[in-house]
Each structure stands twice: as C-alpha cells, then as structure tokens.
Amino acid sequence: MRTTPRAITIALAAVFTAAGARGASAQHAGNGYLFHAPEARITLRGGYAMASARSDIFDDAVTNLTLSRRDFSGLAAGIEVGVMMADRWDISVDASYSRASKGSEFRHFIDNNNLPIEQTTLFERVPIMASIRYYLTPPGRAIGRLAWIPAHAVPWVAAGAGTMFYKFEQKGDFVDFRTSNVFPSTFTSSEWTPAVQGAGGFDVSLTPALALTTEARYIWARGSVTQDFAGSGYNKVDLSGVQATVGLTIRM
C-alpha cells in the first residue's frame, strides 16, 4: 500500500500532538514560573503558503488557462519538535503541508458545443526540514535553582535544510494543439527534492508552559519534471515560497 505525504503529515501530527499533551500535563508549573528551564518544545502551526511559481510549467498554465500565479498558493499546516542545546540555541525537525487547488478553463478555446474546456490544477508541497534556531534575547531567567520564568516575548531566527515532496497535477479536458481535438486526461509530476530554508519569528508567552508563536519562513527548492510531464521540455519546477503562520508552542 502506498503511503502519501498527506498521510505521513497527519500521522506525525497525531503522534506529536499526543506527546505534547502528555508533556504539557506532566510539566510542573508554579505561579508564573516553571520548576526548570524547558528542555524541549512542540509547536503546532497553521497559516498560508505563498508560492513563487516562477518556472515555465506555471507560465504555461497561466498563459493557456484562466489561472493566475496566486492560484498556486494555499493554506498550510505544520508541526515542529525542538530540543534545547544551550541557553539560546535549539535544534528542531519539522514537517508541513500546503495545498492549492483551482478550477480553470482554456482562455482561447471552446469545445464543439461552444462550452468551456475545463480542468482542475492541484499543487501540493510537503517540506521536512532540520533547523538550528537562535533566540535573539534570553528566553527566560532562572530564580535560584528551583524556578525559571519565561520572557514575555522572544524574537528568534533559524536556518535549516531537508527535503520536499511536491505534486503538480492537472485533471480534466485538454486541447491537442496539433489537431485542435479535445480529450480528457490527467497529467502529474511529483518527486522528492532537496530544500533549504530561513525563518524568523516571535514566541509570546501565554502561560509558563505555553507560548503563541508567529513565524515567517522562506523555503527554496526546485524539482525535476517527472511522469506525464517528462519529455515536455519544461525546466525544473519552482517550489520556493514564503510561509506565514501562527501556532501554539508547548514547553516541556
């Protein structure tokens, strides 16, 4: 049975959410402080993934179909698990999923019944990344040996690398430009490819064990054209873009 990236992401989310609930319930907290500095964190986030869509496979879609480049952007969700390495440093692994799906029709062609020639374009991205994060100000302070008070707002920056799965799919009716015939089909290109990212954001404490995390990250990746698009002459697919998200961080 084939495991899809969406299934992987959902499974990771379920596992880490359960772990986060256990960690949060086990966290010993006093009145506005923890009994020790956090050793790890889990962040669940959601937001919007803006796609650059600057390669020729997108150029053709925008030129021939009633699509715009913003139609390749969509909602995103992710999960990140981090471990503290020093007072201001941590390392983390995260996975996210973004999806855009848009119906369209050919701009300059209609079928024999004077009806639009319609199709749907799907664009999915699943980056899985390892990152190093640096907190620009101390994330908290120790009071004696038995209490740790988190700072109210802490800015941070991060950089990382990993891999990304992408899927570009068009399903519906199409025009054979050599004969002008209309035919139904599905065209797909998908693969795993290397990716790098840079990110920045703020952690705003809500309770000693919980923080609101706002983040913007830029992911750079390019994937080969595969499967039904192989041999089409397209250059590599531009998978880069910006994610803007808000999430909840559980300190453990």
Q: What is the pLDDT along the chain (252 residues), one digit of tens a residue?
A: 444 555 555 544 444 444 444 444 434 455 566 778 889 999 999 999 999 999 999 999 999 999 999 999 999 999 999 999 998 999 999 999 999 999 999 999 999 889 999 999 999 999 999 999 999 999 999 887 778 899 999 999 999 999 999 999 999 999 998 998 999 999 999 999 999 999 999 999 999 999 999 999 999 999 999 999 998 899 999 999 999 999 999 999
Q: Total domain count for the chain? A: 1
Domain that holds residue 204: 5-251
Q: What are phi and psi of 58, to 5 degrees?
A: -75, -35
For residue 141, the domain's CATH number is 2.40.160.20
| Long-range contacts at 17-24 (CB < 8 A, ≥ 24 apart) | 17/42, 17/44, 17/79, 20/44, 20/250, 20/252, 23/250, 23/252, 24/209, 24/210, 24/250, 24/252
pTM of the model: 0.85
3-state helix, strand, coil in the chain (%, to 5): 15, 60, 25
Query: Which residue is listed with tokens 């956090």?
Result: 38
Chain Cα centroid distance, residue 197: 11
